[in-house]
Amino acid sequence: MQTGVIGHCSFCSLCCPMTAEHWWAAHYWSAPETEEAGRHGLCARGGSLFSLLENPARARGGVLRREEQQTRLYGEAVVHAFQRLVEEAGRSGRMAVLLDGNLPCEDLVAAHEWAKARGDAVAAVYLPAGDFDLLDGLSAGEAVVRGAHPTGEAVVRGAHPTGEVTVRVAQPAECGAMLIVGDALSTHPALARPLLDAKYARPGRPILVMDTFASRTMRFADLALTVEPGGQEALLGALRRALAGETSAIAHVAALGHTDTKLVERALGRLASAAKPLVVVSPEPTKAEDWRGIGAAAAQLAADTFGSVLPLYSYGNALGAYRVHRNLGMPRFESLLSMRDPDWSLLVFVGWDPTLTFPVELLRPLHRRFPRIVALSPVETPAWRAADLAAAMPLLLEYSGHVVRRRKRSRASLALLLMAGVCRVRDFFDAGGAELPTAWRETPAPAPRVAPAASTAASRGFCLLAASSTLHFSDGALTRQAAATQHLSGEDALRISPAAARRLNLREGQRVSIRRDGLELSLACELDAALPAELAVAPLHRPEVRRFLPWRLDASGPRLSCVAPAVQIFPLAEEGAA
């Protein structure tokens, strides 16, 4: 069995470097269903995870509350305290493990197996209601659900490609028309570039937008349908009937969408003649309640038109968490409230600060039912400290594709909390609270794509600029990244090789100006001997860097990648210089 193999996850269908060192990973390992190179296994989100209790000797620390007194814990003491609480809970009643749905698939499975092996514990998963209901609706239909899967297919319901709904590569450029439900370009800003590139590459491709107000996405619509909140399902049904040739349905679409009948008739004619239409659905909780019905209607519309559906989740690993929930019979978070069990003794939160991850109105009953609470979180917050045992781990920032370790000391700010994606708890549960390995495991960033002009760029005084990672535009976490990364400290410098610094007359720590096609970016300079002589790397978590770099869809599907462009780098005059 290989480790770090690029393959297809048996649950979420992402293509990531996967680990399979443990028996439960081998249990869910299956043969590839396609001829392309790769293996099926459990997704580690590319190794881009928080390391929770993976190395107790390096644990940032924890707090143990007993009778209004707090004791600081470090290293192995955190694990031993958890072990004692679990033993006490096992003698006095049952325990529940509440998992954030943004955990990677392997961590969800590990926690489920840990709870099942104990016999006195139950593991439940939380996903936002919109994500869960939308996936329920799509799984009830027969449409092709387009997602982040570079080769082959996998299903939403089972671990083998035998279910109703498949996941295939989604390329907006392949679609002859687009129907967008919700303000997709605002909720998932990284999706804007490929969608608009597809629109302007073929101006004749119609785009229909259905929303409850004149949103940003509507600015790019050929037909804007302003629907009442909750009326999306009825409007999708009317569109189905109109496309099937029912004349009276055109007037119904115009009435529901508050637009002119002639505009609807013209747009539907273009939509009916388009090949492979794409239905994009962004579940926004304030705009509808029954996202299950909307998902089923979108799936049926796509099936009738031989198109596909691109769901945009608010959780990056929503599909994986949903399939783990269905395949393993893992209960939903809400079901803990209805369980008739008076003997609950311990609740373990895994993921974020519970008050920021889970709905407060659902947390209050849980706090009343569980006498003791353990919180495993990457940051310290007031709610985190209120737990009987709270453990905080060193932060590893999550990007779609690799791990970035912060080399400078940084504050645990709200920006960090919103920026991050998932937590690694696999080794903690596998070890059962015992002492864990001391080595950090990191998945290196993928090698940047160097353009063919690399050899001539240096001779012209240019340097090739690469991004520090790739991006999945279907990852809902990008919404939080785009809004919350401006206040991050540390790793804000442009990394450049010493040879390139000498050639461009740059010094360590000096601010430089980076210019490309009329765009300009200013960053501090940092030397990195590991980089090739002609390459510089910009920190992708800076929003101005994301705006500066050129992005395109790569061959593996809905993943935005950057071909290193040739840029000019000039030293900026220091303050006080003549």
3-state secondary structure string across 277-345: CEEEECCCCCCCCCHHHHHHHHHHHHHHCCCEEEECCCCCCHHHHHHHHHHHCCCECCHHHHCCCCCEE
Q: Is the pLDDT of residue 66 over 50?
A: yes
Angle, helices 261-273 vs 232-243, to 10°: value is 70
pLDDT per residue as tens digits for the range 341-382: 667 888 888 776 566 666 666 777 777 788 888 877 655 666
pLDDT per residue as tens digits for the range 520-566: 888 888 888 877 777 788 776 565 776 677 765 444 433 445 667 77
Q: Among 371, 375, 374, 367, which residue's Cα sits nearest to residue 345?
A: 371
Q: Is the pLDDT of residue 96 over 70?
A: yes
Q: Is the pLDDT of residue 235 over 90?
A: yes
pLDDT given for residue 285 in this prediction: 76
pLDDT per residue as tens digits for the range 471-506: 443 333 333 333 233 323 334 678 888 888 888 888
- In three-state secondary structure terms, 219 is helix
pLDDT given for residue 74 in this prediction: 57
pLDDT given for residue 201 in this prediction: 76
pLDDT given for residue 145 in this prediction: 52
pLDDT given for residue 412 in this prediction: 25
- In three-state secondary structure terms, 437 is coil
Q: Is the pLDDT of residue 457 over 70?
A: no
Which residues does residue 144 pair with via DSSP β-bridges, in sequence order? 308
pLDDT given for residue 171 in this prediction: 54
Which secondary structure element, helix H or strand E, spans residue 285, and what is its range?
none
CB 89 within 8 A of CB 345: yes
Domains along the chain? Answer: 60-127+328-431 (3.40.50), 130-314 (3.40.228.10), 454-571 (2.40.40.20)
Q: Among 37, 17, 36, 20, which residue's Cα sits nearest to residue 28?
A: 20
CB 393 within 8 A of CB 51: yes
pLDDT band for 239, please (50, 70, 90 cuts): very high
pLDDT given for residue 75 in this prediction: 59
Percent of the chain with pLDDT over 90: 7
CB 22 within 8 A of CB 428: no
Report yes or no on whether pTM surpasses 0.75.
no
d(CA 394, CA 3): 24
pLDDT per residue as tens digits for the range 415-442: 222 222 222 333 333 333 333 222 222 2
Mean pLDDT of 458-477: 50
pLDDT given for residue 563 in this prediction: 62
Looking at per-residue confidence, does 529 or 392 come out higher?
529
Looking at per-residue confidence, does 198 or 230 come out higher?
230
Q: Is the pLDDT of residue 326 over 60?
A: yes
d(CA 159, CA 505): 56
- In three-state secondary structure terms, 109 is helix
How, if at all, do strands 121-126 and 94-100 pair?
A: parallel
How, if at all, do strands 463-467 and 566-571 pair?
A: antiparallel
pLDDT per residue as tens digits for the range 285-314: 778 888 889 988 988 888 888 888 888 777
